[in-house]
Amino acid sequence: MFETPSHRLEVARRTAKRLRGARSIAVSTHVNGDGDGWGSACALAHHFGGSDCDVRLLAATPIPERFRFLLPEGVEPYDPDEGGIEALRTADVQIVVDASERRRLGEFAPHYLPDRTVVIDHHAVATEEIEAALALVDPDAAATAELVYDVLLQTGDPVDAPTACALYVGLVTDTGSFRYSNSTPQAHRTAAALIEAGADPGALYRPLFANLNVGELGTLQAALAEMQRDEEHGITWTVLDLDASRRFGALEEYEPVIEHLRNLTGTQVAILFRELEGGEVKISLRSIGPADVAAVARSFGGGGHKKAAGATIAGSVAEVTTLVLAACRAALAGPAQTRS
C-alpha cells in the first residue's frame, strides 16, 4: 500500500493547496532538462491544466525530441525569447522542478519572485539555493517525480494515465531503469502506484530507449572506434572531434556514449572529450571509484557531482587531453600525493 513518507507529508499538503488555488502556474526545469525534469513538469501540466488553471511550461533549453510525447496535447513549452519570460512573470505560482541551483534556470533565473516560487527537487541542497515560498526538497527521493506524485495525491483529484506515464518516465530515467542505488523501496512503491494509475512500462520502452537515430548510433560508433585506455590507472576515454559532429550532427545528450566507457571492466574514471567550434573542448567525466571528478572539473572551471562532472576548456584536443588525463591520474592517486 502506498504512503507518502511522513517527513514530507506536510509540505506536500501545503504545496497541493497552493497549486489548487492558482489561476496560472508556470513550470520549469533545469537547462538541458532530462526525463525526470520534463516528466515532472509535464505531469504537473497534465494534472493542473484545464479550464480553471492556465499551466505554462517553460523551456530554458528545448525539450528533447524523445520526451515530447509527454507534453499535453496542444501544449508547446515557452522559449525565454518568445514570451517565456512574460509567461513566468505573470504566473500566480512559479514552480521549479528538479533544480535547486539558480544558475541552472538559464535565462529565466532573474525573473522568479520568492513569494510565488515553489521548488520541488531531490538534489542535495546546493550552495546557491533558490529562494522559495514552499520547498519540497528531499534528497532521499529517487526522482523529483516521486515528490510530484506526493503532491498530486494531496490534491485529492485522481492521477490520470498521461500524468502517471510522465511521472513514471521520471522515475525510470533517474534510477537508470531501477538499476542505480537510488532504486529504493519507496521508488518501487511509487512506480507500482503509477502503473496502477495507467503508466505502461512496456509501451514506454520504445520511445525512451529504442528509437535511436543514425546520428546517435554513428556517434557511438565513432566514439568506440577512438576509445583509449590507461590500464594502470583504470582510465577509459575517447574523443569526438569536429569531423564526427559534422558527420553525425550534435546530439542532445552524450550519456549513452560515456556509459559504455564507464561500463568497461576495470574503469575507475571515464572521460569523453568533445571538440567544439572555436578552439574549445568539452569534457564529461564519470567516476565509479574513489576519484572525485567534480574536483577535477572545478580545476578546469567546470563543476558537477563527485561521480559525474564536466567542464569546457580552451585548447586543442591534444592539449586538453594531456592536462585532463594528468589531473585524473592525480585524483586517482589520492589527496596525499596530489599535495606533494
Least Å from the CB of residue 34 to Mn ion: 7
Residues in the chain, overall count:
340
Least Å from the CB of residue 123 to Mn ion: 7
CA distance 119 to 137: 7
Give whichever of 101 and 174 is closer to Mn ion, judged by the CB atom.
174
Q: Which of 191, 157, 137 minimizes the C-alpha distance to 2?
A: 191
Residue 223 contacts by C-beta under 8 Å, 6 or more apart in sequence? 238, 240, 244, 257, 260, 261, 272
Residue 194 contacts by C-beta under 8 Å, 6 or more apart in sequence? 149, 159, 164, 165, 167, 168, 171
Give whichever of 85 and 171 is closer to Mn ion, judged by the CB atom.
171
Checking DSSP bridges between strand 308-314 and strand 303-304, what pairing results, if any? antiparallel
CA distance 89 to 65: 27
Burial of 183-204, coded b for 16+ CB within 10 Å and e otherwise, reads beebbeebbebbeebebeeeeb
Q: Which of 45, 57, 49, 54 minimizes the C-alpha distance to 24?
A: 54
Q: Which of 138, 130, 176, 160 minimizes the C-alpha distance to 42?
A: 160
The one-letter amino acid code at 330 reads A
Give whichever of 174 and 216 is closer to Mn ion, judged by the CB atom.
174
Give whichever of 94 and 144 is closer to Mn ion, judged by the CB atom.
144
Least Å from the CB of residue 58 to Mn ion: 17
Residues that bind Mn ion (CB under 5 A): 36, 98, 144, 174
Least Å from the CB of residue 249 to Mn ion: 26
Give whichever of 144 and 267 is closer to Mn ion, judged by the CB atom.
144
Closest residue to Mn ion, judged by C-beta, is 36
Least Å from the CB of residue 227 to Mn ion: 29
Least Å from the CB of residue 272 to Mn ion: 21
Give whichever of 98 and 275 is closer to Mn ion, judged by the CB atom.
98
Give whichever of 173 and 287 is closer to Mn ion, judged by the CB atom.
173
Least Å from the CB of residue 98 to Mn ion: 4
CA distance 9 to 207: 33
